[in-house]
Amino acid sequence: MTRTPVHGTWEPQPAARWEDAFLSGNGHHGTLVFGDPNDDRVIVTHHTLVRPNGSDTRPPRLAAELPALQDRLLAGDRTAAENFTDGRPLQWVRPFHPAFQIRLHRPSRKGQSRKGPSRKGQGYRRSVDFATGVVRAERADWTSQVFVSRADDVIVQQVTAPGLTLDVSLDHRLPGAPAGLAVGHGAVLTPEGALLSLRARYPEGDRAFTGVTLIVVTGGTTALAPPGAHIEGARSVLLLTKVRRHTGELDVTEEGRALRELATEYDQLLDRHVSLHRTAYERVTLDLAAAPAERALPGSELLTRPRDPALLERLFAAGRYHLLSASGLFPPRLTGLWTGDWNTAWSGAFTNDANLNLQTASAPAAALPEVTEAHAALIRRQLPDWRDNARVIFGTRGVVAPGHTDGESGHSYHFNREYPLHLWTAGADWLLKPLVDHDETRGGRDPHTAAALAEVARFYEDFLTRTDDDGQVVVVPSYSPENRPANASWGTINAAMDLSAARHALLTAADYHPEHAGRWRALADRLPPHRINDDGALAEWAWPGLQDSYDHRHLSHLYGAWPLDEITPYDTPDLAAAAHRALELRGAENDSAHGHLHHALIAARLRDGERVAHALGQVLDGDFFHASLMSAHYPNRHVYNADAAHTLPGALIEMLLQSTPHRLVLLPALPPALPAGRLTGVRTRFGAEVELTWAPGRATAVLKPTRTVRIELRTSSGDAQPIDLVAGEDHVLSMEAW
């Protein structure tokens, strides 16, 4: 095995586009750093910044009309749900947007050209260290370092240069900023240097946000140059920045005082942050035996070598870094925690019907409880709104999750004829599944998760009241995101995802609540089985007569295969074969990154390494990654989006190692192009840390269990082997000719 993979990336020139700017974040604040020595920009973001857009955020009051809709659908009216709305047009959730950019302009000296050195020469290099979260840019006479503190929730930037002369300002002028944005600036001198503020009020309503930057100058002089400050002859300049969203007025003086109370030594601030960030980031590593020369390449050059294992190593590391950095107050949005444009695609929402869970897929196994805890916090805050959705739309107790959210409202109000997301009843189980995995991994049951699962079960008790001719309950109306049958409208009956979700929710709630287990398991037993269609594929709709539409980016019907354990090659081989056939028939539609990587996750569960490799290849060959190693939604870096960047680590882990509370699967779907490697620190759902090493013809796994349990071991041979693990005792597994 070669030396440890590179845990960072670098470029030989500053970013020219915000999409290529290096990223830092703490799950609250985020930064996009350009790294230009002469005219640097640091774009500031915050998870709470969503612009009011006039949307009516109430869920539609449809409960009284639901029985009539069910009657029509069960009677064979395949378009009955098209008018099951309250007449509102499609309303997007409030869009996520950037706050402003911190501008650091170095006036050119007389007779000096500013054009060349900022781009090339003088030993220029910009980099991001994934283990510390520090974005660094440097050349012979200048250094800038930026990180976002997990300890102090503040953006920290230090600039050093001999005789540093610098103009600093806060600039709201970013692409798409609304013309009616009311912006006010403030600047005052302080004993440390200066305090700058920018207050922006939205054109709609009384909401505003304020950014405050404390400038601490070492050496030299500071003068006000409204709306900013001018610094002459300094040895170093430290900037501490925070953003607050609010209504009414914000006391900038108090905000400045809070910044002044922080330690104003860069190294002290960094040490406090790194003790938290490094611990989380370094829990898991992936080494694919890449050549040192390839590992040393700039990220942009490595991206031109899509078959190089060094690229997968770096994207795995970058994906974990960005996922961790985007998670705190919330889990990652469609754009993670970052954007440089107010016109963020799909409102930069949390898109619940696929993207959020795909992005966070690696969190339990990749030892990032920080991500799962952020995911859980979002759910806990929105449960009251989920209750409203159940009551107002379906007339039931319990909870129903929305398809989209901006992080504030959890009401279901993003819907129209072609996307009747208010009919999606699987969302609560889908969103709670990562929390159940987290509980299994750590060996304890969170009471908040237990309570939410009970509410999902109560919803199904009230909702699953209709039956078919065989006495099985029917999910009606039913919706498979974001697809429709070839011969019917979007709102239908017995979507495969809805069946899997209802069954899983009822059985899981029964496990968490033994006092109610009898009736919830009995209801689960009355759900119909999945249907296999005439093509031998698991049908997306289990209702007779509904025909599949194969060319679609979503694979919701295979929820039972991933992330659930309902369909496996070991326990349900016939259903697994049908699921595999469905995967073979699925098209790529518009080549969305999330579609390809969802495909890879399911293929790994179904032990198809070639299909995993093909799906990964579609992303690696498709030019989906910016120089920042953040990704795009479509090929050729079209539409900034975190799906590929955040989901890829989960796909790589799934092809190397899978677990349930009582099973370990080693190397289930290893592509031939990765003959050797080492994965360390992954966690299993039976409570063990695993270190996995493989090379041609042999593999070794070291299991470090935290609890005593008997598990079943599965390898590429397909045979089952029982393994007894004892808490605190390492267990070594050696395999030949796997």
CB 440 within 8 A of CB 365: no
Find, among 207, 217, 212, 184, the residue nearest to 196 by Cα: 212
The CATH number of whichever domain residue 272 belongs to comes to 2.70.98.50
Question: Rounded to whole angstroms, how far apart are CA atoms 484 and 479?
Answer: 8
What does the block give as tokens for 17?
């586009």
Q: Domain for residue 656, yes or no? A: no
The CATH number of whichever domain residue 518 belongs to comes to 1.50.10.10
Question: Rounded to whole angstroms, how far apart are CA atoms 89 and 707?
Answer: 53
Cα 62 to chain centroid distance, Å, stands at: 32
Task: Provide the pLDDT for residue 111.
Answer: 43
Task: Provide the pLDDT for residue 109.
Answer: 62
Q: Domain for residue 724, yes or no? A: yes
Bond preceding residue 482 cis, omega within 30 of 0: yes
Burial of 486 (0-12, 13-18, 19+ CB in 10 A): exposed
Final residue before a domain boundary, out of 548, 578, 607? 548
Q: Is the pLDDT of residue 422 over 80?
A: yes
Residues 46 and 63 in one domain: no
HSE (side-chain half, CA atoms, 13 Å) at 426 = 29
pLDDT (tens digit per residue) in 33-55: 999 999 999 999 999 999 999 99
Task: Provide the pLDDT for residue 45.
Answer: 98
Q: Is the pLDDT of residue 1 over 90?
A: no
Residues 129 and 159 in one domain: yes
The CATH number of whichever domain residue 708 belongs to comes to 2.60.40
Largest Cα separation within the chain, whole Å, is 89
Residues 121 and 35 in one domain: yes
What does the block give as tokens for 553?
């980016």
The partner residues of 538 in beta bridges, in order of sequence, read: 532
pLDDT (tens digit per residue) in 99-154: 999 999 998 765 444 444 444 446 999 999 999 999 999 999 899 999 999 999 99
Q: Domain for residue 119, yes or no? A: yes
% of the chain residues with pLDDT over 90: 94
Q: Determine what percent of the chain falls in helix, strand and coil, rounding each to the nearest 5.
A: 30, 25, 45
pLDDT band at 738 (very low <50, low <70, confident <90, very high): low
Q: Domain for residue 702, yes or no? A: yes
Q: Domain for residue 556, yes or no? A: no
Question: Rounded to whole angstroms, how far apart are CA atoms 649 and 654?
Answer: 9
Helices (H), 567-642: 573-585, 593-605, 609-620
Final residue before a domain boundary, out of 286, 311, 340? 286
Q: Is the pLDDT of residue 248 over 70?
A: yes
Q: Which domain holds residue 410?
A: 59-85+349-548
Q: Domain for residue 306, yes or no? A: no
Residues 105 and 140 in one domain: yes
Residues 386 and 278 in one domain: no
Burial of 171 (0-12, 13-18, 19+ CB in 10 A): middle
Question: Rounded to whole angstroms, how far apart are CA atoms 504 and 514?
Answer: 15
Q: Domain for residue 144, yes or no? A: yes
Q: Is the pLDDT of residue 185 over 70?
A: yes
Final residue before a domain boundary, out of 235, 255, 286? 286
The residues, any chain, with a CB within 8 Å of residue 71's CB and separated by 6 or more, are: none
CB 499 within 8 A of CB 531: no
Q: Is the pLDDT of residue 63 over 70?
A: yes
For residue 491, give the DSSP letter.
Answer: S
Question: Rounded to whole angstroms, how far apart are CA atoms 329 and 81?
Answer: 37
Phi and psi at residue 189, to the nearest 5° = -80, 145
Mean pLDDT of 616-643: 98
Q: For 78-90, give one letter per residue: b (16+ CB within 10 A) or e.
A: bebbeebbeeeee
Q: Is the pLDDT of residue 737 over 70?
A: no
Task: Provide the pLDDT for residue 119.
Answer: 44
Residues 473 and 360 in one domain: yes
Q: Is the pLDDT of residue 199 over 60?
A: yes
Task: Provide the pLDDT for residue 113.
Answer: 47
Mean pLDDT of 668-691: 96
Mean pLDDT of 287-307: 97
Number of domains in the chain: 3
